[in-house]
């Protein structure tokens, strides 16, 4: 049979004619593999260079159905190649090696390989590899059928949204900030091209990602294997491969975040800085955000103040405040960047979750993120970040890198999220003497916030460790709080100081919630309004921390939380959880929040919520 024949027949007589790309630096093995594959009636292309293979794949993604690659190669590690292919082309990849160590096999799985074969490879094993292609195609078909939209509709589910993910992932690696947008867009488009080969891409919607994160948290990030995650998630049409590749990306994301988080801690202080800084952070991209936040440095007090309302939240999240300092696990999700301020809007929109306030409009709005926290599912770690709304979900990973997940996770549970978690971090960042930004206040959940806010704000002192400075605070305010925050925006700035706002700080510090806080409470009312913005956001919306707490601080005690104020200050407001779940009617008092937060704390474990200041 000539090659052409095979090719033309391939489409009709699948698996006959399936196009395989084989990569192995060992000529003996390569020849053997190629022969075996041809004996199975596949159409085979062989190369001994991984770089050549990638080039071929990049030239035309539709040229191949499947890739088989050796693990040990001189020019490029097999796993690296695997990652590239998974990210860029979304093709099934089978690993091949003479070494069958469990660790290596696991590595293959986590990197997204759909199978792992041992040398010497037998023809029987190769005769069944076409199943991987079919599986993926099927997923694609489902995806394309249902979704077609660029939004994270429910339609997207399983399916390796590699394209999106890839894009996202790549972006994340490089530059979080703009990615968000792109990714979102990608979601929409990627899936198309259903025809060609397979490419069923799973779009990792917020919902899906949330589930994923929940599953991962449940299992523990170290023990999370695709199979178990898949079982826990219990989503139809989601394959292990999808989960595996997503997990891989997620892990990378976490790693990134943790790096960022460290940096962020410093930034927390910066949170005080105002708006501009935050706004940058806003780019919810999450991971990237922190950096920006950090950059802003000013975040501390100053930031708050100037922070545009939306910004507040964002900033607060910024790693610095939130958690970075003392806040628990860097993973904590940063509550959506609060960033709101100006810039964030872009991001926010994307991130949805984080951006709660982006716009100057109430910070709370931006906040949705914080609420998202709930969704995030507390688990502090990691998972939540994913919650970030955006459709891509994956990318969303807490954008705010700094605060990342952990914090956010905490949120998910409690409305207070913001507050409770230490993340409110208000601060920790010491610097701001004035405001300890411990925005903590955000935690308020409905109305109560005020009381909580106080905690938060004053927390700065209390906050001790987590520099949470304002940032943290902001985030705390989960949904409800978010509202409050709005009202109390101003104070946040002040607090910034490092009051590492531990969640307890919030609670404990019975900060005299100024009237402002109370006002916040009012604002909070059902939070969701603000937060919802993104609705999807699950992730913590950028909490605008209102710095009501700053009551104590020199900044100004006016807690008046007027929404406008808040905005100005750029508080981090917690986005009241969209669902408004915990939020007890607005009337709650801070105390409630505090307690809620406390609970949250337990849940989250993480102290600071990294509110992403989606600035």
Beta-carbon count within 10 A of 120 CB: 10
In the complex with another protein, the residue whose CB is nearer, 104 or 134, is: 104
> What does the block give as tokens for 432?
């701001």
The distance of Cα 581 from the centroid of its chain, to the nearest Å, equals: 21
DSSP per residue, 387-399: H--STT-TTTTTS
Q: In angstroms, what is the minimal distance from the CB of 35 to another protein?
A: 6
In the complex with another protein, the residue whose CB is nearer, 29 or 506, is: 29
Q: Residue 297 phi/psi, 5° resolution?
A: 45, -45
Q: In angstroms, what is the minimal distance from the CB of 72 to another protein?
A: 6
Among 14, 62, 76, 119, binds another protein (CB under 8 A): 119
User: SS3 string of 520-577?
Assistant: HHHHHCCCHHHHHHHCCCCCCCCCEECHHHHHCCCCCCCCCCCHHHHHHHCCEECCCC
257 near another protein (CB under 8 A): no
Closest among 425, 424, 476, 440 to 551, alpha carbons compared: 440
Site string for another protein, 134-163 (x = CB under 8 A): ------------------------------
98 near another protein (CB under 8 A): yes
Q: In angstroms, what is the minimal distance from the CB of 473 to another protein?
A: 50
Count of residues interacting with another protein (CB under 8 A): 21
27 near another protein (CB under 8 A): yes
Q: In angstroms, what is the minimal distance from the CB of 131 to another protein?
A: 22
Residue 83's DSSP bridge partners are none
User: SS3 string of 81-93?
Assistant: HHHHHHHHHCCCE
25 near another protein (CB under 8 A): yes
50 near another protein (CB under 8 A): no
104 near another protein (CB under 8 A): no
31 near another protein (CB under 8 A): yes
Measure CA of the first residue to CA of the last residue in the chain; give whole Å.
Answer: 62
Q: Which stretch binds another protein (CB under 8 A): 34-42, 44-52, 463-471, 497-505?
A: 34-42
CB-based contact 559:551 (threshold 8 Å): yes
In the complex with another protein, the residue whose CB is nearer, 26 or 153, is: 26
- Rounded Cα–Cα distance for residues 167 and 301 (Å): 36
In the complex with another protein, the residue whose CB is nearer, 37 or 416, is: 37
220 near another protein (CB under 8 A): no
128 near another protein (CB under 8 A): no
133 near another protein (CB under 8 A): no
Among 5, 8, 13, 35, binds another protein (CB under 8 A): 35
Q: In angstroms, what is the minimal distance from the CB of 126 to another protein?
A: 11
Q: Residue 496 phi/psi, 5° resolution?
A: -25, -30
Coil, strand or helix: which one is 312?
A: helix
36 near another protein (CB under 8 A): yes
User: To which residue do tokens 């610097």 refer?
Assistant: 431
Q: Which stretch binds another protein (CB under 8 A): 68-76, 170-178, 181-189, 221-229?
A: 68-76
121 near another protein (CB under 8 A): yes
> Which CA distances in Å does 554 have to 464, 494, 566, 600?
17, 6, 16, 29
3 near another protein (CB under 8 A): no
DSSP percent split of the chain into helix, strand, coil, nearest 5: 55, 10, 40
Among 14, 16, 62, 72, binds another protein (CB under 8 A): 72
16 near another protein (CB under 8 A): no
Q: In angstroms, what is the minimal distance from the CB of 26 to another protein?
A: 5
122 near another protein (CB under 8 A): yes
- Rounded Cα–Cα distance for residues 161 and 174 (Å): 19
- Rounded Cα–Cα distance for residues 427 and 278 (Å): 15
The binding site for another protein (CB under 8 A) comprises 25-29, 31-32, 35-36, 39, 70, 72, 74, 97-99, 119-123
């Amino acid at each position: 049979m000539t090659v052409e024949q095979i090719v033309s027949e391939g489409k009709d007589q699948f698996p006959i004619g399936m196009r395989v790309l084989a990569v192995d630096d060992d000529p003996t093995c390569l020849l053997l593999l190629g022969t075996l594959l041809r004996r199975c009636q596949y159409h085979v292309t062989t190369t001994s260079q991984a770089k050549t293979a990638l080039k071929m794949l990049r030239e035309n993604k539709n040229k191949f159905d499947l890739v088989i690659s050796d693990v040990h190669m001189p020019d490029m590690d097999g796993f690296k190649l695997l990652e590239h292919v998974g990210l860029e082309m979304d093709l099934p990849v089978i690993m091949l090696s003479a070494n069958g160590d469990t660790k290596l096999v696991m590595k293959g799985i986590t990197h997204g390989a759909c199978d792992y074969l041992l040398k010497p490879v037998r023809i029987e094993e190769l005769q069944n590899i076409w199943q991987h292609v079919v599986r993926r195609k099927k997923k694609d078909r489902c995806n394309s059928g249902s979704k077609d939209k660029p939004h994270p509709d429910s339609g997207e589910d399983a399916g390796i949204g590699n394209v999106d993910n890839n894009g996202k992932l790549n972006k994340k690696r490089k530059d979080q900030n703009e990615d968000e947008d792109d990714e979102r867009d990608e979601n929409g488009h990627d899936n198309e091209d259903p025809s060609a080969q397979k490419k069923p891409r799973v779009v990792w919607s917020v919902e899906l990602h949330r589930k994923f994160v929940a599953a991962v948290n449940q299992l523990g990030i170290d023990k999370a294997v695709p199979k178990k995650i898949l079982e826990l998630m219990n989503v139809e049409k989601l394959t292990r491969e999808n989960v595996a590749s997503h997990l891989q990306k997620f892990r990378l994301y976490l790693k990134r975040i943790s790096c960022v988080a460290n940096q962020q801690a410093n930034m927390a202080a910066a949170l005080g800085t105002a708006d501009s800084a935050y706004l940058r952070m806003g780019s919810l991209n999450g991971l990237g955000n922190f950096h920006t936040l950090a950059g802003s440095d000013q975040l501390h007090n100053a930031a708050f103040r100037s922070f545009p309302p939306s910004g507040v939240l964002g900033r607060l999240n910024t790693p610095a405040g939130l958690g970075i300092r003392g806040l628990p696990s860097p993973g904590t999700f940063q509550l959506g960047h609060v960033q709101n301020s100006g810039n964030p809007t872009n991001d926010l929109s994307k991130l949805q979750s984080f951006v709660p306030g982006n716009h100057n409009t109430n910070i709370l709005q931006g906040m949705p993120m914080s609420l998202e926290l709930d969704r995030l599912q507390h688990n502090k770690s990691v998972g939540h970040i994913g919650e970030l709304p955006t459709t891509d979900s994956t990318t969303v990973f807490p954008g705010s890198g700094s605060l990342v997940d952990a914090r956010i996770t905490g949120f998910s549970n409690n409305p207070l999220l913001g507050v409770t978690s230490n993340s409110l971090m208000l601060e920790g960042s010491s610097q701001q003497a004035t405001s300890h930004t411990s925005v903590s206040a955000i935690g308020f959940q409905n109305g109560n916030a005020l009381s909580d806010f106080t905690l938060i704000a004053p927390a700065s002192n209390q906050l001790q460790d987590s520099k949470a400075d304002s940032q943290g605070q902001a985030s705390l305010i989960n949904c409800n709080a978010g509202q409050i925050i709005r009202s109390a925006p101003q104070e946040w700035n002040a607090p910034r100081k490092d009051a590492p706002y531990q969640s307890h700080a919030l609670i404990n510090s019975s900060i005299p919630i100024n009237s402002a806080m109370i006002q916040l409470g009012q604002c909070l009312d059902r939070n969701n309004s603000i937060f919802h913005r993104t609705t999807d956001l699950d992730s913590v919306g950028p909490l605008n921390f209102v710095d009501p707490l700053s009551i104590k601080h020199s900044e100004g005690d006016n807690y008046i939380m007027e929404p406008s104020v808040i905005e100005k200050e750029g508080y981090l407001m917690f986005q009241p959880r969209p669902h408004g779940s915990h939020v007890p009617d607005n009337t709650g008092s801070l105390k409630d929040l505090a307690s809620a937060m406390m609970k949250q704390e337990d849940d989250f474990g993480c102290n600071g919520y990294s509110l992403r200041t989606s600035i």
